[in-house]
Structure 1
Amino acid sequence: MLPRFFCPDLPSPGADFVLPAAIAHHLDRVLRLRPGTELLLFDGSGRELTATLKQTGKAASVSLDSVAEVSRETPLDIALVQALATADKMDWVVQKAVELGVRTVYPVAAERSVLRLEGERAARRVEHWQQVAVSAAEQSGRNTITRIEPIRPLAQWLSEFAKVRRSWILDPEAGTPLSEQRAPEGPVALLIGPEGGWAERELAAARSAACLPLALGPRVLRTETAGLAAVAAMQALWGDF
């Protein structure tokens, strides 16, 4: 597989393009590529361009050779509403959600979330997760970028989005198995609790917002496992697996 990099605002084929500094550094210092190496670049709009490395170093540049509209997107419009978990778990969830085809990740603050983020710290962490999503798209072959939304309290997410998307909230005690759910006909959201699970008042609020309780078998899955398992099962039932 050719090295792939996300570069917004790519010009049309036939032009030369100076690579962003971070990509130039990675090509030169990590991959140690040489002029003449073929690359793939994508801009997030669905376009994928073949390119030839012309120059390395801080001013690394490529010639853009050809363009194709290549879609590797699932037919399912899945949003993952992930209650904040400790930082390494959130990185893992974001990375794997991108690989599985999730279009949007909504980090939400829950009552039992171990991780607490506000203000500038929250903004920096979301920026970090967005870069994790970019790297996962580069690796997995996706030509669009999963959006990482700003952190919201769960109540705010329910008021803003629960009526826009068909929503399932994981509840191992009261949920209906995924295999008994009908295939979503539009955007769908999966709400995943934190390490300590959803509080009763959160489950009640979700039910009031028309979120359907969902179960994934008789076992209790960890927060970093549950959402990814649900997305993979949805892909097998109704998507492109």
Structure 2
Amino acid sequence: MSRRAHVPRVFVESPLAVGEAIELADAKRHHLATVLRLGADAPVTLFNGDGHEYGARIVQAERKRMTLAVETQHSPERESSLSITLYQAIARGDRMDFALAKAVELGVTAIRPVFTERGKVKLEGDRLAKKQAHWQAVVESAAEQSGRLVCPPLHPATHLAQTLDEDAHTDGLRLMLAPTATTGLTALAKNTRTTLLIGPESGLSEAEISSAEAAGWQPITLGPRVLRTETAGMAALAALQSLWGDLAG
């Protein structure tokens, strides 16, 4: 268990500065006041993605309002020097939540959910907007729990074909897991910027793999076993962080 576990961490989108006060949004207030049952004078750790962590204390806890006073600022080193953008094929229900949460815990820099040809999740309009908001909450919760100093941006869900066209000139390595790949991660030269594509449960289609290769994506394998979509991303991220990032020891 983390030594910071007894003090709740809260991600906010507001500027933070020592000596200033901040009022929490309803969802954050509800979690602290109703779920954790915290009241006046309770300590809380805040972060907003500026690379710092702020010690704060609740100074006002009312039914529909909670105000915190920012008291300290710290700059611990918890972010990896390896920049990884994850393109995660959209999976059903808890599988997608799991994939997003573990990606955040493993230090991903940004996440883009993608619809794929073989993906079985169909979302649009209000349903997609609600799901995107749910995923955002999952990402924020994982960032809070894991001690991140940033909350990785969750980009709007797009179709993979559109994404491949838009990101044709992305710098760094572009890697995709593919069942026909013969190259493993250890065969690659170190690169501090990597984009990783994880397909759906039934895999990327041949057409998607061909289009991705034509756009400069390199097929890779993680070994002989078939991994579920929510496991594949976690395994690949852990391997990349172990090889080139902050899990290297």
The TM tier, using the shorter chain, reads over 0.9
Aligned to 2:130: 124
CA contact (8 A) 1:84 1:90 kept: yes
Using the TM superposition, give the Cα deviation of residue 11 of structure 1 relative to its aligned residue in structure 2, in angstroms. 4.1
TM-score by length of 2: 0.91
Secondary structure in structure 2 of the residue aligned to 1:155: helix
Match of 1:173 among 169, 173, 180: 180
TM-score by length of 1: 0.94
Matches within 5 A, 1:1-241: 1=4, 2-57=7-62, 58-165=64-171, 166-185=173-192, 187-241=193-247
Secondary structure in structure 2 of the residue aligned to 1:129: helix
Deviates more, 1:175-184 or 1:92-101: 175-184
Using the TM superposition, give the Cα deviation of residue 71 of structure 1 relative to its aligned residue in structure 2, in angstroms. 4.0
- Which segments of 5 or more consecutive residues in structure 1 lack a partner in the other structure? none
Aligned partner letter, 1:96: K
Using the TM superposition, give the Cα deviation of residue 68 of structure 1 relative to its aligned residue in structure 2, in angstroms. 2.5
CA contact (8 A) 1:123 1:150 kept: no
CA distance in structure 2 between the partners assigned to 1:11 and 1:193 by the alignment: 38
Using the TM superposition, give the Cα deviation of residue 225 of structure 1 relative to its aligned residue in structure 2, in angstroms. 0.6
Secondary structure in structure 2 of the residue aligned to 1:116: coil
Deviates more, 1:10-19 or 1:91-100: 10-19
CA contact (8 A) 2:16 2:48 kept: no
Using the TM superposition, give the Cα deviation of residue 34 of structure 1 relative to its aligned residue in structure 2, in angstroms. 2.9
Aligned sequence identity (%): 44
Aligned partner letter, 1:180: A
Runs (4 or more) in structure 1 with deviation over 3 Å come to: none
Q: Deviations over 1:198-218 (max 9, x none)?
A: 111111111111111100011
Secondary structure in structure 1 of the residue aligned to 2:65: coil
Deviates more, 1:106-115 or 1:159-168: 159-168
Using the TM superposition, give the Cα deviation of residue 221 of structure 1 relative to its aligned residue in structure 2, in angstroms. 0.7
CA contact (8 A) 1:27 1:56 kept: no
CA distance in structure 2 between the partners assigned to 1:79 and 1:121 by the alignment: 25
